[in-house]
Amino acid sequence: MSPGDSAPSTGAEGAPSLLRLGALLGAVPDRWVARWHQRHPDIRLQLDYFEETGQLERIRSGAVDIGYLRVRADEGPVVNTEVFHRVWLYREDAVVCAAAEHWIAAAEDAVTWEDVAEETFLDPAEVAAWSPPSDTRATERQSMEVVASGAGLLVLPRSVARALARKDVVIRGLEDHPGFDVGLCWLRERDDEVIQEFIGVTRGRRAESTRSTMDNAGDRPRGQGRGATAGARRRRESPRDSGLRAATGDVRAEAGRRRDPGRRGNPGRRGNPDVGAELMPWDRCR
């Protein structure tokens, strides 16, 4: 990347005209990208894939504006929150990969950590050190080739293992493993309304949400601003509908007050829209 690419591109008004997203193997942000293009066609979203190693440095150097981050769930703090913002999106299950003739192949669905604790495990970073691949993003692929040879086992996030699936390698769930937390990370000094809008897209925020500070007119019918839909609905209501609304309004308001205001997301749900995982509550560092 040339030095000129290290700073975000801006339009005539000084607002960014390009948002660069650094993705990781196994991540599938296609729906986010499509939604962004629909809402903000004037700000191009550039999607590039990288290996996991060095992701924070890419964000720090400006090679990407916002990037995926995937860490083992029990690793503890891995992000300097004085430098970076981050938000966790979901937790992904771990799997173990083994050569097709390994005894693990006899397991129907999963094995426990106790079952495989004495086995030899491969570290993708160490495998790359033996024979660095020409494409730095091929580290995990190279590791799977070593697994296929029977030299050892490899623990990976489920989405990565699926992306690298081979006929000579079996993939089984790994019980008693904490899994991997997946989120997005960006520089505090780079935080702006464009990045916050993208975070809103990943969290399922609607285009008409009052939390958005950007003009999402491209995602609304012509002539409608924020709140216009609700206003039009009220104008179309019959007197009977209005009476029902008045009769039930207090009950709905009371139900809303009883909800837990701190609960965001659905951490108990399995099945992330992109890769299949446990959704995480909102957790932006301050």
- pTM assigned to the model: 0.67
What pLDDT score does 34 carry?
Answer: 94
| Contact between residue 114 and residue 176 where contact means Cβ atoms under 8 Å apart | yes
Under the banding of pLDDT at 50, 70 and 90, the label for residue 229 is very low
Domain hosting 208: range is: 3-92+180-216+265-279
Q: Which of 152, 154, 150, 87 has the alpha carbon at shortest distance from 141?
A: 154
Q: Which two tokens stand for residue 223?
A: 């002539």
Do 61 and 80 belong together in one domain?
yes
CATH of the domain at 148: 3.40.190.10
Cα distance between residue 43 and residue 27, in whole Å: 22
Give residue-wise pLDDT tens across range 129-142.
Answer: 666 555 545 677 88
The total number of structural domains that make up the chain = 2
What pLDDT score does 219 carry?
Answer: 46
What pLDDT score does 131 carry?
Answer: 61
Alpha-carbon dihedral of residues 47, 51, 52, 56, nearest 10 degrees?
-60
Q: What is the mean pLDDT of residues 206-211?
A: 67
Give residue-wise pLDDT tens across range 29-43.
Answer: 999 999 999 999 999
Give residue-wise pLDDT tens across range 45-65.
Answer: 999 999 888 899 999 999 999
CA dist list (Å): 200 to 31, 47, 244, 259:
13, 17, 33, 22
Cα distance between residue 211 and residue 190, in whole Å: 19
Do 11 and 147 belong together in one domain?
no
Under the banding of pLDDT at 50, 70 and 90, the label for residue 237 is very low
Do 16 and 62 belong together in one domain?
yes
